Each structure stands twice: as structure tokens, then as C-alpha cells.
Amino acid sequence: MGQSVGPANSAPFEAIDAYVAQQMRRLRLPGVALAVVDEGRIVHQRGFGQTRPQGAPPTPQTPFYIGSLTKSFTALAVMQLVEAGRIELDAPVRCYLPWFRVADAQASAAITVRHLLNQTSGLPTSAGEIPLADFDASPGAAERQMRALAALELARAPGAAFEYSNANYNLLGLIIEAVAGQPYAGYVERHILAPLGMSRATTDPAAAERNGLAVGYRYWFAVPVAAPAIPVAAGSLAGGMLIASADDMARYLIAMLNDGGDSDAPLLSPAGMAELHRGAAEVTAYGLKLGRYAMGWYDTEIGGTRLLWHSGILPHFFAYMALLPQRKRGVVLLCNADSHWMSPVLMELGTGVTALLAGETPPSLPVVGLIPWLLRGLLLIPLLQVIGLIAGWRLWRRGAAPPERRLNGARGPELHALLSPIMSLALALCLKPLLSRRRGYLRLYMPDYYWIALISGGLAAVGSFVLAGVGLRARRKETAPRGARSPEK
């Protein structure tokens, strides 16, 4: 389906639609819901593909999980409570959550609300990944998970540098509950979703199902596979589990561009909105500067124009939103497929649409384009291991034979010295991540890598055992008196 409302000149929207359709074919994306806003209005909405196997295209009202786009809602809720005089940005977290602590007592007292909002608390990325595979849906799940940080070593000193971690925003959700005296879900629904008329937005998966929630797909080796039964990590609600439609998100973007929405009852003051969007923490990756992190938003620029954006990543949904404040434009893309490794590729789709909206050429990064092929290449790893084991066994058979029967001078001990460490290294590289506390996250968000690592690790373990045994046999034959060797026929 397609819907455009606004300027008669629809050429930019035609270019955006064509780009989305082309990228969907390339990435085998099942479905995408798109909405564009301009000067306080929804000017374009479009649904592509299908919401479920053999299903219809998404409509502007089709709900999707929006992942970490939720963080901007959590940050907005905190800033509302700041303006109400109930939270201070530079107050320690322990002023609101007295039980909060990490392994370092001094650091525990130093982490502030602002640190959490700007992702500069020092909490490592892994501290936010582990709860994503914890499906405890009890009312105290989030607090229980955050209390488990008591033994955690920080990645760096509080305030020193940016490091993205869901744990920061899960803690903010608990601060909102402590200060507001009500569940996070209830606060957000009453103070943000309802005032903006976000009628399909919800924190309740059951309600979303009744409203036609899209079926999510997980990428396996760059091929999307329907995954309708993935459970929800309720303890990470404030960090990334909100559900909304493209129409809902368009209303939200309009409020962001209009200093909080309705001038008679704004969600936040203009000064508060400016603080919410102000980039404060330098973001770098692989030595490249990627702008600054604000509060639930990345603050950077595109083609000389300021750009505020964020992505949302779940095992089976991807979301992207962007604002061009100087042009009063915004865009949201909701996709019903994802995985950890495919997220950079889907991010390129979001930035491409944003570039077109800004009048720029969509970027094309060759390294990102290689990711689907590298994922498919994972299938070769166990195949090559099996081939290597067979070849190694045959070589060792030759090396273990009497000298007069060896071919090409093959020797078991030398081969053992070469191949056994390789097998041991493969074993360590494959199984070490699977034995860590992140294994649940890996299984959920990187299913193809997880199972390849499990299979390859198993093959490496078997190979190391077999090759070690055959190598010892070869050594015994080398050192045994010549008369003691039994001829092989």
C-alpha cells in the first residue's frame, strides 16, 4: 500500500520509495513501513513487502518492535521529571536507587543520571546485552537484573568516555519508577504516548498482537527466517522493547521537531528539548569520529545539515529514525527482520533514505556490502574443518607407516606439531564465547554464528583429541626399535 499527503511534487518520495524497494530486494527484507514528516505534517507513508509469511504489506498502523528507539522515550520521560523538579541530572544514581552499586564502591557513588543518559557511566556493552536473553517477566525483573551489577567491573571511569550499554537505560527506567511512583510502562503511556495520539504504541505485546503486530524474521546466513515465537526481555523494556507503528512514530517525530509538540501542552520545554538533543559524548568506532551521543539520540550531520538519529536492533526487528531539525523534516523506517551482524547493513538503508530526504546521494560502503556474503561464508567453516580432518587423518596414516611405505616423506610427529595447535586454537576461538555470560545473547541475536561456533568447536575438540592420539602413535613408531615395529599390510 502507499499513501502520500502534502506537496504536489512527489519526486523525492518516488526516489525514496524506489531506493527502499531496491534495497529490500538486495537484503531480502520481508517488510518495511516508512513515514516522512515535513513542517509539522505527515507527508508520506508507504508499506512494502509483507508483515508475515504470505501476508499483506504493512499499513501505517501496523505495530513493530522499535528496539532502541525506545531510549529516546525513556530520556524524554527523565527530562519531564527533571523539569518537574523531581530528578536532578547531575545527582548520583544512588539518590534514586540507593541499592545501586558496581564492584568499585567509589565509582558506584560517582555515576550520575546524566552519565546514564549520555552513555558515559562506564558500564560495559556486555552488561546491557546479557539481560536481553533473560526472559523473566515478573514485575521485579529489571531491578533484579540491575542489582546483579554489584560485582561488575566498569569498562572505564564514570564520565570518561562513551560506551553504549542498554544497562544505562534500564537503570533510567527504574529511576522513573522510583520517582514517579508507578511502573515505567504506565508513566510512558500516560505522559508521552497518549498526549501524542500514538494509539497503536504500547509496552504490552499482547495488545500489539491484537492490533496486528508484524511477524519478525531472524537472519540466518543473510536469509530471513520467520521467528514468531521469540520471547520478550521484559526487564529491558526501558532500553528497547517499546512497540509502535510508523504513524505513531511520525507523530513522535513531529513533536521532536516542534519543541515538544502541542504549544498549549508541550511534552517538554524548548530548553529541555534542546538539552535532550544536545550531543555531549564523543562517539568513535575503529578510530573514526561518528558524532556525539545526546540523550537517546546521536547528534551528527549529513551534507552540512544537522542530523539527529537512532537505530533499534532486536533479534527479529530493526528500526531507524532521523530528524533534520534545520529543515523540519524527519523519517522513520520499521523493518520486521534483523540480526546482530545484519544491523550495519540495515543501518545503511536508513542512512540512505535520510540522505535522499536531505538532498544527498545515499552512501555505499563496500565493507558493509560484504557482510551478507561473509555470513553466507560461515557455512564453509565446518565443511573445511571436515575436509581438513580427513586430509590430516590420511597424512597421519602415511606418517605412522614404516619408513619404506611413507609417501613423499610424510612424518606423523611433524604433522601433529603443525595441525594440533591449529585445532586447539579453533577450539578456543569457537567455544570461549559460548561459555561466557553472553552466550544467551549470542544464541538469540547471532543464531548463525552461535551454531557454527558450536559445530566448529565440537569438530575442533574431536579433531584435537583424534590428532593428538594419532600423533602419539606416530611418535611411538618413530622411537620404537626397528624390530619391534609390526609391518602393516
- In CATH, what number is assigned to the domain containing residue 261? 3.40.710.10
Say yes or no: 439 and 352 in one domain: no
Give domain status of residue 373, yes or no.
no
The pLDDT of residue 408 is above 90 = no
Say yes or no: 347 and 397 in one domain: no
**Spatial separation of the C-alpha atoms in residues 215 and 209, rounded to whole Å:** 9
pLDDT of res. 435: 72
Say yes or no: 352 and 435 in one domain: no
Say yes or no: 428 and 384 in one domain: yes
> What mean pLDDT is reported for the chain?
88
**Spatial separation of the C-alpha atoms in residues 111 and 461, rounded to whole Å:** 44
Q: What is the torsion angle, in degrees rounded to the nearest 10, for the CA atoms of residue 261, residue 267, residue 268 and residue 269? A: 50
HSE-CB of 409 using CA atoms within 13 angstroms? 1
pLDDT of res. 374: 92
Place of cell 530471513: 224
pLDDT of res. 8: 37
Give domain status of residue 433, yes or no.
yes
Average confidence (pLDDT) over 416-420: 49
Say yes or no: 200 and 271 in one domain: yes
pLDDT single digits (tens) 167-219: 999 999 999 999 999 999 999 999 999 999 999 999 999 999 999 999 999 99
pLDDT of res. 447: 94
Give domain status of residue 239, yes or no.
yes
Domain count of the fold of the chain: 2
Say yes or no: 18 and 162 in one domain: yes
**Spatial separation of the C-alpha atoms in residues 405 and 416, rounded to whole Å:** 19
Give domain status of residue 489, yes or no.
no
Domain end residue (candidates: 301, 332, 362) = 362
Grade residue 489 by pLDDT with cuts at 50, 70 and 90.
very low
HSE-CB of 118 using CA atoms within 13 angstroms? 24
Say yes or no: 338 and 479 in one domain: no
The pLDDT of residue 415 is above 60 = no
Give domain status of residue 369, yes or no.
no
The pLDDT of residue 484 is above 90 = no
Say yes or no: 413 and 319 in one domain: no
Work out the end-to-end distance of the chain between its first and last CA atoms, rounded to an integer number of angstroms. 74
pLDDT single digits (tens) 246-296: 999 999 999 999 977 666 778 999 999 999 999 999 998 777 788 999 999
pLDDT of res. 198: 97
Say yes or no: 353 and 457 in one domain: no
Say yes or no: 414 and 453 in one domain: yes
pLDDT of res. 4: 40
Domain end residue (candidates: 306, 336, 362) = 362
Residues ≥6 apart with Cβ < 8 Å to 448: 219, 220, 221, 339, 341, 375, 378
Domain end residue (candidates: 362, 391, 415) = 362
Cell of 361: 546521494
Say yes or no: 292 and 441 in one domain: no
- Which of 187-196, 330-339, 340-349, 399-408 is the least confident region? 399-408
Give domain status of residue 137, yes or no.
yes
pLDDT of res. 96: 98
Could you tell me the residue range of the domain that residue 409 belongs to?
Answer: 378-484
Give domain status of residue 74, yes or no.
yes
| Beta bridge partner(s), residue 38 | 41, 329
Average confidence (pLDDT) over 305-319: 97
Which amino acid appears at position 371 of this protein?
I
Residues ≥6 apart with Cβ < 8 Å to 420: 464, 467, 468, 471
Say yes or no: 313 and 403 in one domain: no
Give domain status of residue 371, yes or no.
no
Grade residue 7 by pLDDT with cuts at 50, 70 and 90.
very low
Average confidence (pLDDT) over 460-479: 64
- Which of 82-91, 120-129, 452-461, 469-478 is the least confident region? 469-478
